Amino acid sequence: MKDFLILNKLKKFYLPLSFAIIVFVFLLILVSDIYIKKIIDKDRIFPSSLIISTEAKFPVLKTEFIPFISAQGAVIMDADSKTVLFAKNPQLRFSPASTTKIMTALTALEYFKPGDILTVKSARSDGVVLGLKQNEKMTFENLLYALLLPSANDAALAISENYPGGEVAFVNKMNENAKKFNLFNTHYQDPAGLLDDGDYTTPVDLARLTSVAIKNPEFAKVVSTKSKIISDISGFNTYSLSNLNKLLGINGVYGVKTGYTEEAGQVLVTSKLENGHAIILIVMLSEDRFLDTERLLNLVTNNISYLSIRP
């Protein structure tokens, strides 16, 4: 009888306790479920409300073959997508020689207007020069033609010396722009590309730079010009300019820039229009830059398909 009373008391004690434990466990599961849902919702990626109507175009070669070229570095790049269609030592550093002037032109175009009057502060006689005289005055636009067509080193110096802070500040700005354009294997020591020890870039960096440059209307206009006569502001000193790019106007080529030093070898940057798309071709440290570029042109002419990449 005594055991029965004890058992009865235990039942009266444990039943409410068991019920309380069940309720507590249920509430704990409920709270945990709510908490977990909040964490999941916080990290969930919801569909974008932005409707993208355009389709990305991804270029591929219809037929692939390896052209024989003497150039130690080369790249073919689609300017819009930055897709590399062909490469030979694309990340190897080379001296850019006068293709440095692509960055010189872009840097100058950020600051000068075409009609700005620049003064020749010091004449330069090394390498290819226009023959500018000290204190001669010329518009920036005319100096830009002199810089990019015959690749006049004295035009590069005149432009840089008229920049606030002079040549040193101008070259610093060129290197700032290299970082801005994500050209991490590119460095400039002078605006003309004469200092092979301090000027360097890679074929892929040079292609990326060119893809930026050809989008500048003033730059594109100048590099697509075969010849031009310019003068200083007095009109007494005139200069006849010829573009050094022999391929200009052939097979869709509309630019861009030649370069040469003994260390750099022959360098050529080319822009070609292929089915409405800009294609950049780079050859560096070449024995025959025009022949090498013609062989690269054969690789891409009527040989690129653009695939639609849907978002």
Considering the domain boundaries, does residue 1 fall inside one? no
How much is the pLDDT for 51?
A: 39
Considering the domain boundaries, does residue 134 fall inside one? yes
Considering the domain boundaries, does residue 45 fall inside one? no
With b for 16 or more beta-carbon neighbours within 10 A and e for fewer, the 32-51 pattern comes to eeeeeeeeeeeeeeeeeeee
Considering the domain boundaries, does residue 47 fall inside one? no
Active-site position among 98, 211, 271, 286: 98
Q: How many domains does one find in the chain?
A: 1
44: pLDDT strictly greater than 90: no
How much is the pLDDT for 10?
A: 47
Considering the domain boundaries, does residue 8 fall inside one? no
Q: What residues make up the domain containing 305?
A: 56-309
86: pLDDT strictly greater than 70: yes
CATH number at residue 217: 3.40.710.10
Active site residue 101: yes
Active-site position among 37, 38, 88, 101: 101
Active-site position among 88, 95, 151, 286: 151
Full-model pTM: 0.81
52: pLDDT strictly greater than 60: no
Give me the residue label for tokens 């089915």. 275
Considering the domain boundaries, does residue 10 fall inside one? no
Percent of the chain residues topping a pLDDT of 90: 75
pLDDT in tens, 133-163: 999 999 999 999 999 999 999 999 999 999 9
* Mean pLDDT over each residue of the chain, to the nearest integer: 87
